Chains A and B, each alone.
Chain A
Amino acid sequence: MKTHGTVARLHGMLESRKISCTELTKVYLSAVGRDNAALNAYVKTTPETALETARRVDEKIAAGQPLAPLEGIPMTLKDNISTKGIETTCCSRMLRGYVPIYDATVWKILKGQNAVLLGKTNMDEFAMGSTCENSCFGGAGNPRDPGRVAGGSSGGVAAAVVGNLAAYGLGSDTGGSIREPASFCGAVGFKPTYGAVSRYGLVAFASSFDQIGPIAQSVEDAALVYDAVARRDPMDPTSSGSRGAVSPALGKDVRGLKIGIPKEYFDEIRSDVAQALQKAAGVWRSLGAEFVELSMPSVKLGLPIYYILACAEASSNLGRYDGIRYGYCTPHYADRDEMVCRTRSEGFGREVKRRILLGTYVLSAGYYDAYYKKAQNLRGAVVRTFDRAFGECDLMMTPTVPVTAFKKGRKTEDPVENYQTDICTVPINIAGLPAVSLPCGAGKDGLPVGMQLIGPRFSETALLNAAFQYEQAAGEAPYRVDGMGVRL
């Protein structure tokens, strides 16, 4: 068995006193100090709070108290999750220096379980992007090949986890921002059903799409983290919590499982990615699963629906950054209007401005019906299409991304071409479904290919159980790069 830093293994090491939590934390902190320069996964480290938490955990261990599954495990948060007293920038110039006065619900929960926060990780500015390159701190590198992008927007979390600079991390997924970097870096990225995890404290990009979820080295770890954070939160009226703990249910036989293959998802994907998925199909068959071919033409409308609605919500959500109360404020202005205007012009990056303008446009009088309203109606149609499809299958399998991680700086100036990267992931957010991306072999370039499994709403247990069974059969987990980050 490979040496690795999965949550389950680290928990065992702490409980059996093979290593103290303080030592473990120091090992991670020094690995971050050494290797982060190459990956740029962390944009901020928090050694003091990490060591303070570790000390508390060591006291518990010394007192012979049992540890919760995530207790004392070094982890990270995407930099759009509000952390009291710790700068939360969304990797935007607009929020540099902004220190929240409250904790996001997910962090409140994990803090309560003595999770050891090593720091905050890199992302595309306000979670808008698929490469992590739209970050005011510069993009994160891919641990599999640091000349390539980590993916986005939660690129920093994926790079930290695969590069052994954190056992797991929480990211956010609005149109694929957890699954896509997990696919590019070769990790498990899980986007739960909309509402399963509280959004309170997640800096909003597109409120009706945003969802927090884990990126981890194994399906089991992702399930443990999900179980810890999924609960109904009175602070988030759209939250509904989980339908029961997932991790204890892992390991159930998947014989007879019906996996739907929506053919439209395979139209525009690279041939080596398709081949990797075909190989994966063999693993599924060996497990006794069956395949059903589906046709879901309306998912082709995913990109326009998503970019209209998500940008509309973003244009409203990002209106509050005016330089008056917190964050960046331009030093040069004559009056209030000019202050707000210059602050926003200077504080936001190109992609964020593009989406604010697009979103403002589609909501404007005279265009609302043609864009926003039409997209809203079509959103309903996509939801119904998925509902119908799940009448014929238990879950669906698609590639997560049509390609593998591309070289840094490859991004073209044509935003529509860049948005194509999200073609397989956005329909899931449109419908609010749970989906997990897990590695399934490699492309021609040797880079990881991600398989996306999609389930009906609140089917987390069945979905992650299937992913777990595949992972066991394929034998590629834990997903990490040897010789990088911590050595345990």
Chain B
Amino acid sequence: MKYELVCGLETHVELATKTKIFCSCPNVFGGEPNTHCCPVCIGLPGTLPTLNRTAVEYAVMAGLATNCKICPISKMDRKNYVYPDLPKAYQISQYDMPLCRDGWVGLSDGRKVRLTRIHIEEDAGKLIHQRGSTLIDYNRGGVPLIEIVSEPDIRSVDEAIEYVEKLQMIMRYLGVSDCRMEEGSLRCDVNVSVRPQGSETLGTRTEIKNMNSFSHMTKALQYEMDRQIDLLESGEPVVQETRRYDEKTGCTEGMRGKENAHDYRYFREPDLVTIRVTEEMLAAVRAKMPEDPQKRLARFTAGYGLPEAEARLLIEHRRIADYFEAAAKGLRSPRSVANCITGPIFARLPDEPAKDAFRVAVPPEGLNALLRLVEAGKLRGNLAKSTLEKMLDTGKPASAFLSQKDLEGIGAQELKKLCGQAVRQNPDAAKDYLGGKEKALKALVGAVMKATRGRADPQQAQKLLKELLRQ
């Protein structure tokens, strides 16, 4: 029998607000343990939370960007449970009145993954197990989170990955989170069940907690799917439980214990007032939101005439796309900007976080100025390229590397003269070319370029050389 996967995700995304959700401590990753803490976020007796408005705004943005309805009235609740990383013994979260409801995220095959809800809550601290004892770092305690809950609409491992990548791109785009799985600013709990293909009923599901990388997620999902199919094939039931993925063995295993028997005793957080999102606030948030990446992609291909693959590379990170648009302003060939970015600039950005941060020594105006010289015919492409490399290395403007003479180019008469010179000085190459070796022409062009210190137009030189040699 053929089986299909039925999968839904709960995705936690840390919001990149300046301060924590209920106090004014800085919201930054890492730091010496317990240095980004105050009486409020370590829950000292008598302290009270105050809700960070930016966290609400970011969550509203996330909701709007995923086609959610934003609830005009919502509230915070207490989720009570005892664990040392939770200093108040309750997490302030949202239970029955979340901020956002009923959204969706589109996949590349045109299918939609429906979102049940997005709610805001606080993150907990971290336990550090060390030489037989356990230490607690509360730096992360009180970092704002959104939890994005999807319907069980995902039907394959690939779709699950695409869905999370999509969320990651949307959140990064909005600037509401850096979504770094390796730093835990994006984490997933995955609900998995299988059923015979064509069946409409849902199978018993298991939940795999805390997926913190795409490769683990792929392996864990595949393993869990196979495990459940094996169980069903051998006539055994799937047990509804919470499971953990073991990176070493590549298997999922049941988390025995109290996790499944929790009664969180949710009730309204009496220390916080009702959250009201007015039409004015919604309008203000919409005005602050960047363009939707899908629309931007369409604009980059149709408007700037970029091939889709190249446009995607630029769109993926908002800062890169913004840089592209700033640098392409007023140019006849925006593609040359794209080439500079995907070529020499990307060569200097080793990984995704570096691309996301996009720290580039040359401001977009600098690149624009350089490419304007090329378009005006004042600067040859190859000289522009080497100049850009120098600019990227030093952060200095193009003028630091180009003389007046460089910008004047070579006149047609002079070039003809230089070509003749090159043929005379390299008789072997000339002979080889005439003897049928096309490549020999390259050596002659090289000689011309050398003599002009790169100012000549190599295409033009090649044309002139061919004419000369044919005579």
Contacts and interface: CB of A to CB of B under 8 A. Distances in A.
A364 B265 contact: yes
A419 interface: no
Given A364-B263, A365-B263, A320 B271 contact: no
Contacts of A81: 46
Interface stretch (B36-44, B205-213, B426-434): B36-44
Interface stretch (A69-77, A100-108, A152-160, A438-446): A100-108
A142 interface: no
Given A237-B272, A313-B270, A364-B265, A322 B48 contact: no
Contacts of B88: 319-320
B284 interface: no
B265 A316 contact: yes
A200 B134 CA distance: 31
A199 B48 contact: yes
Dominant secondary structure of chain B at its interface with chain A:
loop
A316 B136 CA distance: 21
Interface string B75-96: 0001010101001111000000
A326 interface: yes
A177 B50 CA distance: 26
B273 interface: yes
Contacts of B39: 100-102
A234 B52 CA distance: 12
Interface string A336-362: 100010000000000000000000100
Nearest to A373: B267
B89 A82 contact: no
Interface string B39-64: 10011111111110000000000000
A9 B88 CA distance: 44
B48 A237 contact: yes
A100 B44 contact: yes
Contact of A325 (B42, B46, B47, B82): B42
Interface in A185-238: 199-204, 206-208, 234-238
Interface in B210-263: 263
Nearest to A313: B270
A312 interface: yes
B46 A237 contact: no
A259 to B, nearest CB: 32
Interface string A463-486: 000000000000000000000000
Given A324-B136, A363-B267, A319 B46 contact: no
A95 interface: yes
Given A237-B48, A336-B84, A340-B82, A319 B273 contact: no
Nearest to A208: B270
B84 A324 contact: yes
Nearest to B84: A324
Contacts of A313: 267, 270
Interface residues of B, number: 29
Nearest to B78: A316
A42 B221 CA distance: 63
B87 A325 contact: yes
A365 B49 CA distance: 26
A100 B45 CA distance: 8
A88 interface: yes
Given A208-B270, A324-B84, A100 B46 contact: yes
Contacts of B45: 82, 88, 90, 95, 98, 100, 203-204, 320
A325 B137 CA distance: 12
Nearest to A236: B48
B135 to A, nearest CB: 11
Contacts of B51: 237
Given A95-B45, A102-B44, A237-B48, A316 B89 contact: yes
A316 B271 CA distance: 12
Interface in A29-60: none
A238 B89 contact: no
A201 B89 contact: no
Contacts of A386: none
Contact of A320 (B50, B87, B265, B266): B87
B44 A326 contact: yes
B299 to A, nearest CB: 42
A372 B80 CA distance: 15
A237 B45 CA distance: 17
Contact of B50 (A202, A237, A326): A237
User: Which residue of A207, A234, A326, A364 has the most chain B CB atoms within 10 A of its CB atom?
Assistant: A207
Given A102-B39, A320-B88, A238 B271 contact: yes
A80 B45 CA distance: 9
A202 B265 CA distance: 24
B90 A316 contact: yes
Contacts of B267: 312-313, 316, 363, 372
B425 to A, nearest CB: 81
A322 B44 CA distance: 12
Contacts of B50: 234-237
Interface string B267-300: 1001111000000000000000000000000000
A234 B45 CA distance: 18
Contacts of A208: 270
B297 to A, nearest CB: 42
Contacts of A238: 48, 270-273
A82 to B, nearest CB: 4
A320 B89 contact: yes
Nearest to A341: B82
A96 to B, nearest CB: 13
B144 to A, nearest CB: 16
Contacts of A201: 46-47
Given A237-B272, A319-B82, A104 B265 contact: no
A371 B339 CA distance: 67
Interface in A343-400: 360, 363-365, 368, 372
Nearest to B43: A320
Contacts of A90: 45
A379 to B, nearest CB: 12
Nearest to A101: B39
B265 A322 contact: no
A67 B261 CA distance: 61
Contacts of B271: 204, 207, 236-238
Interface string A225-256: 00000000011111000000000000000000
B46 to A, nearest CB: 4
B48 A319 contact: no
A22 B213 CA distance: 66
Contact of B89 (A312, A322, A336): A322
B80 A203 contact: no
Contacts of B273: 237-238
Nearest to B49: A237
Contacts of B89: 316, 319-320, 322
Nearest to B40: A235
Contact of A200 (B47, B82, B87): B47
A206 B153 CA distance: 42
Given A312-B267, A336-B84, A200 B46 contact: yes
Contact of B46 (A104, A206, A340, A360): A104
Contacts of A234: 50
Given A102-B39, A316-B80, 16 more contacts: A80-B46, A100-B45, A199-B48, A201-B47, A234-B50, A237-B49, A237-B271, A238-B48, A238-B270, A238-B271, A312-B267, A316-B78, A319-B88, A336-B84, A363-B80, A363-B267
22 contacts: A80-B46, A81-B46, A82-B45, A88-B45, A88-B46, A90-B45, A95-B45, A199-B46, A200-B46, A203-B45, A204-B271, A235-B48, A237-B51, A238-B48, A238-B271, A238-B273, A312-B267, A313-B267, A316-B267, A319-B80, A320-B43, A320-B87
Interface of A: 80-82, 88, 90, 95, 98, 100-102, 104, 199-204, 206-208, 234-238, 312-313, 315-316, 319-320, 322, 324-326, 336, 340, 360, 363-365, 368, 372
Which 7 pairs between the two chains have the least Cβ-Cβ distance? Answer: A319-B89, A363-B265, A208-B270, A207-B270, A203-B45, A82-B46, A201-B46
